[in-house]
Structure 1
Amino acid sequence: MAGTTFGNSGGIAPERIAALREREAKTFRAARPKSERAYGNGLPGYLGGVPMHWMNDWPTPFPIMVEQAKGAAIVDIDGNSLADFCLGDTGSMFGHSPPPVARAIRRQASRGLTYMLPSEDAAAVGKLLAEKFGLPRWQIATTASDANRFALRVARAVTGRRKILVFNGCYHGAVDETFVRLDRGRPANKRGLAGEFRDLTQHSKVVEFNDIPALEAALAARDVACVITEPVLTNCCMVQPEAGFHENLRRLTRDTGTLLLIDETHTISTAPGGYTKRHGLDPDIFVLGKPIAGGVPASVWGLSAETAQRYDDYLATKEPGYSGIGTTLSANPLQFAAMRATLDEVMTEANYTHMESLAARLQAGLQQSIERHALPWHVARVGARVEFICAPGPLKNGGEAEAAQAPALEAAIHVALVNRGVLIAPFHNMMLISPATTRKQVDRLSAAFADIAEVLAA
């Protein structure tokens, strides 16, 4: 019965989970003969049979082969249409090919795709970034991972310190220094890192989110260049900041001469200016990737006026040579065209009002099913980003978030949702609302979730 504890299985008997997954896998295969034939034992020519290894992390029996995506829907090569709440794991948070972005891409395509020089769109984007997010000085990169790497290099340059601090359970892309965790309370490299030969804890400190005493102790030595954090932990089971956490984080970083980097790559779901602007945060460095160009690979990192001046002073005295910052295709005109359209025409208050309204509706629908069946689960939300978590909540930190994960149960639910016409993110139970998402799609997801919950709790 639901409510009975079966280890890390969300209160559901393992045999019931296994039966659901086996049944749903058969249904999935039957509906996708073309995808199965096309995929076979993997796509020819690719390591692991896929262009990017995490495509094999979907819990479906094989990856869905997409024919096209538009708005908030995906159609596979077998003709199955899915209401898409994954949205490229935030990369398409504003929908697939938003019309203003599609128009900008078509316009720029005939004008050149990359030439290492600025354009009129570049001039407009610089102003839009300052207006939208509040920081005055910006640089462009291609992924949030790159932006975070470059920003941390700047933080070390202006402080003269080597170490950074992250929160247990954090996500900042493929930044090596952030691949640390707490293992039984002790700092350690994250599990499963490929080819890692270093002890990353030598230059990275890690404490639990919401633990102000631990943060204060970690910063006391004044050897940390930068605290890098999401405003809300999002790539594990979602963890919200407790009252006063961000105010104390800012106070402690200032008191110890430590810079504060806010990574809004996921929490941009909150508002046009992100969680930072909505909640009045005051970072020294701001990073945003994924949806900033409406699906075109791009990211930005911004500096406060004081941090920018410190970096200017540093550059005036450093020896000539390669800075280690920048990649050739960053700040290309296609990025600028797409970013301008996204910032000016897509990231609007009207679109966010629509997104937040439907996200609240989805949150209520999921929570209603959980309560109806007395499941020991809960729902978390940050703006247009919603997550059901197969454990009681709210969660306080990354350690609790790790313990709340129920991989076998979540995988079964994901496949069952696909079979009911709904796609959510594969890595955890994240769902996004876009400007193109409809009330009908939200209700379809809520109904599918209710059906699955009833099967599991029967």
Structure 2
Amino acid sequence: MSDMTDHAPLDRSRLAALHARELGAFRAARPRSAALAEQARAHLPGGVPMSWMVKWPGDFPVFVDRAQGAHFTCVDGIDHIDLCLGDTGAMMGHSPGPTVEAVLAQLARGITTMLPTEDAIAVSTELSERFGLPYWQFTLTATDANRHAIRYARHLTGRRKVVVHDYCYHGSVDETFATLDAAGRTTSRRNNIGPPVDPSETTHVVEFNDVDGLERALAEGDVAAILVEPALTNIGIVLPHAGYHAAVRELATSHGALLINDETHTICAGPGGVTRAEDLHPDFLVIGKSIGGGIPCGTFGFTAEVADRIARSVDLEDIDVGGIGGTLAGNGLSMAAMRATLEQVMTQDAFDHMVPLAQAWADGVQAGIDSVAAPWHVTRLGARAEYNFSAEPPRNGREAHDADDFELQQYLHLYALNRGILLTPFHNMALMSPSTTRGDVDAHTVMFDECLRELFSRP
């Protein structure tokens, strides 16, 4: 319980002073990263290979020298506990042994041929057993898989719109960069870069956990697909209310829309994600990132009924030019990585190790919050946990968004980074891997408690 039941509100001037101190410590500890960042700016905008990398805390990104398991070492020789893990891409740890061995063997046999390998059979069989969908196709990213599933849904239903949740995340799928305005109308999200059309032409946005709102959107009669994460994950973890997924499934069926579950992040719930844990029954399922152990991959599965409808409606002559595919899709290297990762790394035993660690991390964070009576909360989903700046867990993406505090978030992330702990830059998320140890978790608990006691200390 808290020993400071009436703490003062967060002092913004104190936050600014502490942040300035941490920036100075960051610069002093990382001269090699600073030099590389300056060199990188000659040909990389912002000094980074992709624009979102400028969002890391600090004046420049930390350049990585090597990563293994649940740790990485930067070019300045500093060891870091990695609780970001590639924002799920390295959820099974950096360079897991079985995946590396399989990839090295496949490199010598051929990387990409536009022809199948035996691994494709093994991977599709394993995915079918995990998620309950019999048919699978492969891409290089979950974004591509989402795009393909949406295209098929439009093709099969003859409808043009997609339903998504407010503040969802499905990669760079155009239809998902939409939000609700103050009047409850679908509009473009802030800083949506170069949308091809107004999102209201392609998308209905509804709040997560809002069954009535979903039913109103479906009643328009123009919805081809409902694209959902079984739990919101990129705006803070927002969990479904009891019965919500059953209602979504029932409404999709009754209104003739196809249901797409995107498990790319929610695979943290277990070997079969939330779909298996909650016995969900989507028409399509999308996943990427983690199942290749770090090698780029993506896949989407679908029901026998969907497979039959596709087979009867897509001509062989045009099967390669209809917007589904890519010459590197299903390449031998990705298939070898997925087979090894699924069969030998992403196992039930791995989750039996990871999930208790996530609970211990959440308990440690909650203890830190309680010690200063901060009006924050912690939420966990399987091997993933996150703290948010509101007293109660949000019911939907809007509530999670409104509780965010970018200035505070940047400080907390920088404080952790200066003490050798990496969190995901976009939110306050920690992810456990098979290589994560209780010592790693305890180090975060100590750091977080010290951080909050200093931040909320009284004069």
Aligned to 1:147: 145
**Deviation digits for residues 395-452 of structure 1 (CA, Å, limit 9, x no counterpart):** 0011101101110001000000011111000011111000000000000011111111
Partner of 1:36: 34
Structure 2 CA distance, aligned partners of 1:445 and 1:350?
24
Q: Distance in 1 between matches of 2:33 and 2:210?
A: 47
One-letter amino acid of the counterpart of residue 46, structure 1: L
What is the CA distance between 1:34 and its match in structure 2?
1.1
Asked if the contact 2:7/2:372 (under 8 Å) is kept, the reply is no
Question: Cα offset for 1:48?
Answer: 3.0
Q: Is 2:70–2:436's contact at 8 Å kept on the other side of the alignment? A: yes
Correspondence for 1:452: 451
- Once the two structures are superposed, the pairs formed by residues 200-239 of structure 1 within 5 Å of their partners are 200-239=199-238
Q: Which residue of 2 aligns with 1:170?
A: 168
Using the alignment, how far apart are the partners of 1:137 and 1:320 within structure 2?
Answer: 17
Corresponding letter in the other structure for 2:131: F
Quote the Cα distance in structure 2 between the aligned partners of 1:126 and 1:138: 6
CA distance in 2, matches of 1:414, 1:169: 22
**Counterpart position of 1:343:** 342
Please give the per-residue CA displacement for 1:94-138, whole angstroms capped at 9, x wherever unaligned. 000011001011111111111111112122112111112210000
Q: Which residue of 1 is the match for residue 417 of structure 2?
A: 418
Identity among equivalent pairs (%): 47
Aligned to 1:380: 379
Q: Which letter maps to 2:22?
A: E
Match of residue 97 from structure 1: 95
Equivalents in 2 of 1:392, 1:252: separation in Å? 32
Task: Report the equivalent of 1:401.
Answer: 400
Given that 1:222 and 1:258 are in contact with CA atoms closer than 8 Å, whether structure 2 keeps it comes out as no
Question: Offset of 1:197 from its aligned partner?
Answer: 5.0
| Aligned-partner Cα distance in 2 for 1:12–1:328 | 53
CA contact (8 A) 1:231 1:275 kept: yes
Does the 8 Å CA contact 1:94/1:291 hold for their aligned counterparts? yes
Per-residue CA deviations over 1:362-391 (Å, capped at 9, x if unaligned) read 011101110111000000111011101111
Residue equivalent to 1:430: 429
Letter in 2 for 1:105: V
3-state SS of paired residue (1:166) = strand
Match of residue 331 from structure 2: 332
1:59 aligns with 2:57: yes
Q: How far did 1:222 drift? A: 2.2
Structure 1 residue matching 2:109: 3-state secondary structure: coil
CA separation of 1:195 and 1:64: change in aligned 2, threshold 3 A: same
Q: Distance in 2 between matches of 1:328 and 1:3?
A: 61
| 2:137 alignment partner, SS class | strand
What letter matches 1:183 in structure 2? D
SS in 2 for 1:311: helix
CA distance in 2, matches of 1:404, 1:276: 28
Please tell me whether the aligned partners of residues 25 and 418 of structure 2 are also in contact (alpha carbons under 8 angstroms).
yes
State which of 60, 68, 71 in structure 2 corresponds to 1:70.
68
Q: Which runs of 5+ in 2 are unaligned?
A: none
Cα distance change of structure 1 residues 197 and 116 upon mapping to structure 2, 3 Å threshold: closer
Larger mean CA deviation between 39-48 and 316-325 belongs to 316-325
The 2-side partners of 1:3 and 1:212 are apart by 38
Amino acid at match of 1:414: H
Deviations 1:35-62 (A, max 9, x none): 1122126443223321111111112221
Q: CA deviation at 1:4?
A: 7.1
AA matched with 1:104: A
Question: 1:325: how far off?
Answer: 0.7
**Within 2, Cα distance between the matches of 1:148 and 1:235?**
16
What amino acid is aligned across from residue 353 of structure 1 in structure 2? D
- Distance in 2 of aligned mates of 1:42 and 1:333: 32
Residue identity matched to 2:13? E
| Cα distance in structure 2, aligned partners of 1:105 and 1:197 | 38
SS of the residue corresponding to residue 40 of structure 1 reads: helix
Residues of 2 paired with 1:28 and 1:47: CA distance?
A: 22
Write the distance in 2 (CA, Å) between the matches of 1:365 and 1:445: 8
Paired AA for residue 99 in structure 1: G
Aligned residue pairs total 453
